[in-house]
Chains A and B, each alone.
Chain A
């Protein structure tokens, strides 16, 4: 059994006690300690800023041309916090409870409680930084609701909340760069973790402009490189999002936890053809006001607007009357897939459902009429007023939809379908966010700890910033207090060895000189995993997928073609490094999914479902975190962390 180092005491007191008793590093010593941070999204940028402010010497790395590009920027809907500004009964406990329940009882109570506790501080910090959250006319912060909750606790900045939060963290980071506390390495990719005596002491990073391999020492290494959704090729992740840093950490001894827990987001723009390079999310906030439906009749050929009410099946409202269109993501995605598989899908591919704003436009139009005290208003005028309100709330999302599809969502219902969006699994970490390799930490989406088997909307931004601003600065310091006698090591044989290993691997990739492009392998990998380890999984399918991935790996390493040279700017080489890691991770995802003989959250095994098609958990046998240790090619050992629920009694999730 793994030791997650959860402090003793009552759940409410654990974090307070921890902070009160953890070891500190005095300011003079902090200046001598170097911290490496890989990735500059919400987790990485906030950690770099916060640790720079404390006086540590921080070295931050990102593969993009600026830390402001990290994919946190694309998060649309919002960020949760237990502020209870709406007086609707929210509290730290409720945010904690909703997150544990939403995660289908596969998250660690102590971590999630801490997350709920610091959530309010995040909002305060961001407001102080100048993040322009949406406000009411009275000048106070506005909230909206998200899936899996019955309170309004989501703070937002139109449909660009991630952008505004990231820009806030980026500015805080650049301030530390200006002060000389943080050195920023853009267009760099971490290609290995360096260990001395079993402890993480630095990284090998490749300068993506020159191809040069650089050796960087650190008293601690923080992996903040995000999730691995791009293993599916088609996902809502950015094109460059990758698992490489986390995977290298895994190969150096960090256990990888619950890799099969992936989130398929219900509201994305459907695939239009084989050329498709990525999928675009339509924010979950759209489910606040939009209604999801499919035609009742099989073989329906009428246009959406011509189908009368009685021939429409609002399947989420029908199946889940209590939560309706705001059921959690895993439930909504599976329900959409079920309808499409049953032949009720819409659009040319028949792999889509409608997200309809007609009712919301009418409702808002009527509210406006009453607000403005208008009389003798025509139906057209009501519609026009309603459209104005919808435009103010969701205008940027509607525009994006129109640009991609060429259709006007104010006039015809949007077509949506589930797509890979987020990965709950990641590097196993203890309460201090430390992996199984001492000195090596994982923050944000790169770790596994807070969302169990399914993440609730608006919780990813919360976790990234919680880890970076408010958790890591304490927990990393606690462990560094004992390292103050260790001076920075400028050179060591371990660095030379690691750099040589990386150089050899790059050379062998380049020397394959085969016929097929990196992209073509990535597409094939994505198809295998989407089909067998996507929205529903089965024993036979997973076994086949494992064999297919192993064969694909062989083919990749004998027939991939990487144009250009090693020692220059070469995006194809960067991609090849990443896809090689995705292939290995893909196999582990299937191994994990095959091991987990139950359905929970985003992991749905066809063999384990209730008579009405809901996920069937097996708490007796699977109430654990599956943490995998790498033992060489195609070989992993399972370690379990038992999940103990002291505060919450697990039950079947019920959104009916």
Chain B
């Protein structure tokens, strides 16, 4: 017993010594490349397609910027609670000039860290508060992923047309199944743009949505996909981060459109294409800003034209004839602005054209919409802040 007590006492003493150490702070202004460090905080690890997309993008940016491994610190499996704050603080204390967090729920804790470490820049993907928070070292970023979803939808619609032509299904049976994580604006905006893309080529397409209540749950996502297939869906897409849905589709021989990574290896006979946000240019942007002593944009939304939104390799084995050419044509029109995804002429809500819609853009924790989002007949997605706010449940043709 005495031994134990003395151990405990020793531990307490050690603690006292450590607690005496003070905080360190790093410099401001332009940072030299040798002294530069960036830290990435991920909700899960490489097994999640979502986190893997960030990890690979940062590694690519590291290569193109010529940074060493010791200058790029990656922390994985950081939950959306106090551990996110401590991870951010640890990275700041390890000398990181930029700390980047990848999950929406990290936001409050990153803001907490940003208030404490004023010399460190904190960037947060998918966040909503930077444009109202007035913190010079806290930034949000997203990309116009709805353009990518729309394009992927076009590929899906062409596949549906092929199935109708081959008499595999009748036109009224062109039902898309969509596995979403949560009924949240980011997901709703994504599934709506995907559906609009599909319907732009296959006018009889409809969509059924189901939610898993989790961003990453292999079993639930598989079950959700199987449920949709059993209920008559002939093509599946998803906004959840595991291999659950793609693999379920492969087992049932149902075409699948994925997100974040190419899933051709998981479903060689069913994976059609994926849309993804390419974070590499954003990482390059923020690192170069720091090296040149420039300010990082407060709320940045990357475009498809600049390479922030991409489609992965098209699986020719699965895709309908002429998909590649059609995608190139539509991509050009999206980039030029000839096609606008959320053009109110292309969809109806409860049988009527949408002429006005107030969205919750300011995220003041009141969950009250305050901003008119329809401008010149188009729902102005991601222009008032980078994170999506199209949360209309649902336009005609989509149901739960």
Query: Do A and B associate with each other?
Result: no
